[in-house]
Amino acid sequence: PHSASPLILLYHRPLNGSRGLQQHHELLSQLSARYQNVQVYTGLHPTTFNATIRTLAQTTLLLGPHGAGLTGALFLPPNSTLLELRPSRYPNTCYEYVAHACRLRYYMYRSTGAAKTTMSVDVPKVMEIVHTILH
């Protein structure tokens, strides 16, 4: 546990691209109902880069579908957690390596879907993982 109100960032990928999360809004709703400080993270953008880095540096948990936005893990404080939602038949383990190199705790949930399609998760199971991470 990091604090009484951990900062949780949920990475959002659009559904019109690959690896968008079908249950994004349901997951966001359940996270927000259970935890006080939940924000949506859309990745690193030039116009908001500095503010995003400051937010990442105070984050307890970054979770979301495998994608470029998870490079934000590079700016998480040591001992924070990265929870990667990865398609079951997608062997790309780059974020696991990033997490270990940055001294982060790493969890991976295998979702349904392929690398170039939308993904689906069991929201209660993801919430169980989040609960385990934060308690």
Q: What is the pLDDT of residue 1?
A: 42
Q: What is the pLDDT of residue 4?
A: 64
User: pTM for this structure?
Assistant: 0.92
pLDDT for 62-84, tens place per residue? 999 998 999 999 999 999 999 99
DSSP string, 5-71: S-EEEEE---TTSTT-BTTHHHHHHHHHHH-SEEEEE----GGGHHHHHHHHTT-SEEEEESSGGGG
Burial (CB < 10 A; 0-12, 13-18, 19+), residue 3, is exposed
pLDDT for 42-66, tens place per residue? 988 888 999 999 999 999 999 999 9
Q: What is the pLDDT of residue 71?
A: 95
Burial (CB < 10 A; 0-12, 13-18, 19+), residue 84, is buried
2 pLDDT above the threshold of 60: no
Give me 33's structure tokens.
């109902």
pLDDT for 7-40, tens place per residue? 999 999 888 778 889 999 999 999 999 999 999 9
115 pLDDT above the threshold of 80: no
Q: Which residues contact 66 (CB under 8 A, 6 or more apart)?
A: 19, 84, 85, 86, 87, 90, 92, 95
Give me 61's structure tokens.
């948990």
What is the rounded average pLDDT of the residues 101-126? Answer: 91
Distances (CA, A) of 90 to 27, 56, 109, 117: 22, 26, 12, 11
